[in-house]
C-alpha cells in the first residue's frame, strides 16, 4: 500500500505538497500534529481550517508544505493516520521525471478519489441560478453528503425528490422526449423505452440511480456511482476503465429548468444512461478510460477533449442523415436542435485533430465531429491510445474487476494464450520486435 494516493494533474511549483486532514475537536489536537511536522523538519507554508461537513465534532485542515523530505513526509502521514487517528488525503505531490501517475488497479480503489471533487455541493458559483437560494443550497448539501458517504459495493441511497424537483424534471423530460425520435441516434431511441419500462422513466417521476445501475449492469456491465460534483479529468476517466460512471443526483434550479451550468441528474439520466446500455458505445467509453490509466498529463487533456467531442457532443451517421449521440446534446433542448441545423461546422472524427480542438464550455459548440459508427470510433481510439507514451499496456479483467498491467512479453503471451485473440497475438509479436 502506497501512502501517496492522489497526484495532481498539473505540476506543483517549488515542490509544494498539499494535504487535507481532519481532527476531532479536542484541546491540543492541532498542536500535536504541528509538532510532528516540526520534529521531522517539514516546513508548513500555508494552513486553513473549517468545520467538517461530514462530522460535526471534527475540523478539517488544508495545508501546503515543502516537499523536500519525502521519506519523512510518508512517515508523518502514516503517523497521523495510525497514531493520532487523523483522516488524511494527499492532494498533490510533485512528480519526478518519467514517473507514471498513480491509477486505480481495482474497482474498490475508486473510493480513494471519488470525493476529490473540484466543487462541493452547497458551494455554488455566484452566477449559479441557485446561488441566492438557501433552500436549494441546503438541498445540494444533502446530495453531496450521500455521495461523500458512499463506498463501492453499497446500494446507492434512494432519494425522495420534492414536488418542485419533479416538476423541473418533468419539464425537461417532456421537451426532450418530443425531439428524440427525429434528433437522437438509433441506439438512444432503442433503449429509452426500456428505461421507461424497467427504471421508472416518466414525466412525473425522477428515476433512482440504484435501479438504473442494476439495469445497466444486466445490459453492458456499466454501473453508476453517486458523486458530489465535478471530478478531475484523470479521475473521471479512470472510472470509465472499470465501466463505472460517476453520476450526480441533484437537479438544476427550478428557476431555469432548461439551463444548468453543471452536470445534473437530467443530463446524466437523459443524456448518458441510454447509451451506456448499448454494448458498442459502452466498449468505446471504457476504451477512453483504459487509455487514460497512467497517461501523462498532456494526453489526459487530449483524451478529455476526445471525450468532450464524442461522449458529450458527438454526432454520428445514420444512412444519409446525422444524429446526436452526445449526452450534452441529448440533454439540451436548444443545442439538440442547433447541432443538426446548418449553423455549426461539421467535421469527420479524426482524433489527431479532434484531441487538440479548443471548445467553449458555456455556449453552443461551433464545431461538431461525426463518427461513422461507434465501432469505427473505437478502432480510431485504440490506434490513438498506442501513441500514448507509457511503458505498459492495460487490460480490464471483468471477473476480478481489476486492471491487469502488461509490461513484459511473458504477460502478453499468457494473455494472448488465455483468450486466443488474434489482435493480442499481433500485439505480442509487436512487443518482441
Give catalytic residues, as residue numbers. 267, 272, 312, 331
As a whole number of angstroms, the distance between CA 362 and CA 92 comes to 29
What are the residue ranges of helices labelled H in 128-278? 134-149, 163-183, 186-198, 209-219, 233-241, 265-266, 273-276
- The residues, ordered by sequence, that sit 6+ positions from 17 with a Cβ below 8 Å of its Cβ are 64, 65, 66, 67, 73, 90, 92, 93, 94
When computed from its CA atoms, the radius of gyration of the chain, rounded to whole angstroms, is 23
What are the residue ranges of helices labelled H in 200-325? 209-219, 233-241, 265-266, 273-276, 279-292, 297-307
CA-CA distances (angstroms) from residue 3 to 62, 74, 171, 345? Answer: 18, 6, 47, 48
* CB of 188 closer than 8 Å to CB of 275: yes
* CB of 264 closer than 8 Å to CB of 233: no
- Give the residue from 270, 320, 297, 296 showing the smallest Cα distance to 169: 270
Q: Is 198 helix (H, G, I), strand (E, B) or coil?
A: helix
Q: Is 143 helix (H, G, I), strand (E, B) or coil?
A: helix
As a whole number of angstroms, the distance between CA 431 and CA 409 comes to 7
* CB of 146 closer than 8 Å to CB of 226: yes
As a whole number of angstroms, the distance between CA 57 and CA 50 comes to 12
As a whole number of angstroms, the distance between CA 151 and CA 173 comes to 30
- The residues, ordered by sequence, that sit 6+ positions from 297 with a Cβ below 8 Å of its Cβ are 9, 10, 11, 101
Amino acid at each position: 500500500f502506497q501512502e501517496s494516493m492522489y497526484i495532481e494533474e498539473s505540476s506543483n511549483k517549488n515542490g509544494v505538497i498539499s494535504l487535507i486532514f481532519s481532527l476531532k475537536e479536542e484541546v491540543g489536537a492541532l498542536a500535536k500534529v504541528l509538532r510532528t511536522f516540526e520534529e521531522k523538519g517539514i516546513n508548513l507554508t500555508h494552513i486553513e481550517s473549517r468545520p467538517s461537513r461530514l462530522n460535526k465534532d471534527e475540523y478539517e485542515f488544508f495545508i501546503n508544505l515543502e516537499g523536500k523530505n519525502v521519506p519523512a513526509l510518508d512517515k508523518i502521514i502514516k503517523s497521523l493516520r495510525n497514531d493520532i487517528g487523523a483522516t488524511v488525503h494527499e492532494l498533490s505531490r510533485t512528480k519526478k521525471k518519467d514517473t507514471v501517475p498513480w491509477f486505480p488497479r481495482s474497482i474498490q480503489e475508486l473510493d480513494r478519489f471519488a470525493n476529490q471533487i473540484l466543487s462541493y455541493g452547497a458551494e455554488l458559483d455566484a452566477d449559479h441560478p441557485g446561488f441566492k437560494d438557501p433552500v436549494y443550497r441546503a438541498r445540494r448539501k444533502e446530495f453531496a453528503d450521500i455521495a461523500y458517504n458512499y463506498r463501492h459495493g453499497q446500494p446507492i441511497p434512494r432519494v425522495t425528490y420534492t414536488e418542485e424537483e419533479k416538476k423541473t424534471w418533468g419539464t425537461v423530460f417532456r421537451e426532450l422526449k418530443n425531439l428524440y425520435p427525429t434528433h437522437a441516434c438509433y441506439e438512444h431511441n432503442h433503449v429509452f423505452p426500456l428505461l421507461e419500462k424497467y427504471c421508472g422513466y416518466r414525466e412525473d417521476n425522477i428515476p433512482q440511480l440504484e435501479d438504473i445501475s442494476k439495469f445497466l449492469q444486466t445490459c453492458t456491465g456499466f454501473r453508476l456511482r453517486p458523486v458530489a460534483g465535478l471530478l478531475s479529468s484523470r479521475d473521471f476517466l479512470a472510472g470509465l476503465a472499470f465501466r463505472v460512471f460517476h453520476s450526480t443526483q441533484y437537479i438544476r434550479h427550478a428557476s431555469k429548468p432548461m439551463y444548468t451550468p453543471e452536470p445534473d441528474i437530467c443530463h446524466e439520466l437523459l443524456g448518458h444512461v441510454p447509451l451506456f446500455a448499448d454494448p458498442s458505445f459502452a466498449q468505446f467509453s471504457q476504451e477512453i478510460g483504459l487509455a487514460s490509466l497512467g497517461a501523462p498529463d498532456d494526453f489526459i487533456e487530449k483524451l478529455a477533449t476526445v471525450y468532450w467531442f464524442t461522449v458529450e457532443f458527438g454526432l454520428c451517421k445514420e444512412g444519409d442523415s446525422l444524429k446526436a449521440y452526445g449526452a450534452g446534446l441529448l440533454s439540451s433542448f436548444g443545442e439538440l436542435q442547433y447541432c443538426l441545423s446548418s449553423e455549426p461546422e461539421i467535421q469527420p472524427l479524426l482524433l489527431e485533430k479532434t484531441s487538440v480542438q479548443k471548445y467553449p464550455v458555456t455556449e453552443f459548440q461551433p464545431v461538431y465531429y461525426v463518427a461513422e459508427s461507434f465501432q469505427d470510433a473505437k478502432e480510431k481510439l485504440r490506434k490513438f491510445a498506442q501513441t500514448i507514451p507509457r511503458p505498459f499496456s492495460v487490460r480490464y479483467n471483468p471477473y476480478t474487476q481489476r486492471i491487469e498491467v502488461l509490461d513484459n512479453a511473458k504477460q502478453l503471451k499468457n494473455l494472448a494464450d488465455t483468450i486466443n485473440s488474434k489482435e493480442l497475438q499481433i500485439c505480442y509479436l509487436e512487443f518482441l520486435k
